[in-house]
Amino acid sequence: MSTPSRSLGRGLGSLLGRSVGPLQSSAKPAYPTMPSGGLLLIPIDKIKQNPYQPREVFDVEKLQELAASIRVHGIIEPLVVSKTAEGGDGYELISGERRLRAAGLAGLTEVPVILKDVSRRDKLEIAIIENVQREDLNPIERAKSYDRLMTEFRYTQEDVAKRVGKSRESVANTLRLLKLPMKIQEYIQSGKLTEGHAKILLGIAEPAKQVEYAEIILRDRLTVRQLSDSVSTGRSSVSKIGQQKPRNPNVSVLENNIRSALGTKVAIVGTESSGKIIIDYYSAEDLRGIVDKIAGK
């Protein structure tokens, strides 16, 4: 299978073929039914979930809030569906699962939709792009979404970055989260650990040690800064992470400046007068990019 050659950088508008305007689901008249791109009202029980939905976690409290809003204002933005492969009167959701779930909680029996005829690839892209643009995905869901685009469609990191409107460095860093032990991934997915904590844990070579640090982060409520200081100075004992002396702030500023300039994890071990700089890279592509930045290319 060859790498897709069509143009990159499409947003939801180009994938759906039109912009989506405001729409009240409580309006009395039915919307005109059209083969593709038209608006219509269809029963909720006729809509199947999107098999490519990247979201795995739905916040129940936020769904209840959305349901309350729908009861008052209706559905402002229609869902996007396609006909099921089996035909008949069934539909498959492309975009809008939160709205669909909330509509059910709000007691609606029908929802406004846009009917589109799209490919399997576009269904996955639309679902991912919608969630990424709205920042509805947690870091692990986002990483799995990027990985799926690369696995199923043989996209490069650069391709994915252009598809979702992120930098290649951002995509690469997010994908690295999938290298963490499953226990840590679950902590990230549940919101117990932040993406900032996770990126620092990736700098620890041993999975068992990563988990050990993660447990201490939760137990002692360590900040990202405290964890970063511990890993950067190479402390062998994790039992006193929260008690260590603060670093020289000038060294931390320099470290952050280098990290921002190179777009990767950087650690300065030592003092302002002597020490070493550790620069992490995770692929040949990363290494070339870092070298080019240092060389000013």
Does residue 7 carry a pLDDT above 50? no
Residue with more model confidence, 251 or 4: 251
Residue with more model confidence, 214 or 49: 214
User: Which two structure tokens, joined as six digits, stand for 206?
Assistant: 């041993």
**Among 7-21, 109-123, 182-196, 265-279, which stretch is predicted with the lowest mean pLDDT?**
7-21
- Set 56, 61, 77, 97: catalytic member: 97
Once rounded to an integer, what is the mean pLDDT over residues 54-62?
77
User: How far, in Å, CA of 203 to CA of 192, rounded?
Assistant: 19
CATH of domain 12-128: 3.90.1530.10
Domain locations along the chain:
12-128, 138-178, 180-245, 247-297
97-156 tens-digit pLDDT: 889 999 999 999 999 999 988 887 787 777 777 777 666 678 998 999 899 889 888 899
Query: Cβ–Cβ contacts within 10 Å for residue 285, how many?
Result: 14
208-230 tens-digit pLDDT: 999 999 998 888 888 888 888 77
What value does the mean pLDDT of the chain take? Answer: 79
User: How far, in Å, CA of 186 to CA of 244, rounded?
Assistant: 28
Does residue 13 carry a pLDDT above 80? no
Once rounded to an integer, what is the mean pLDDT over residues 249-269?
83
Residue 69 is predicted with a pLDDT of: 93
152-194 tens-digit pLDDT: 888 999 999 988 888 999 999 999 999 999 999 999 998 899 9
Residue 32 is predicted with a pLDDT of: 39
**Catalytic-residue membership of 61:** no
Does residue 248 carry a pLDDT above 50? yes
User: How far, in Å, CA of 232 to CA of 286, rounded?
Assistant: 21
Residue 185 is predicted with a pLDDT of: 96
Residue 173 is predicted with a pLDDT of: 93
**Among 44-58, 134-148, 239-253, which stretch is predicted with the lowest mean pLDDT?**
239-253
Residue 106 is predicted with a pLDDT of: 94
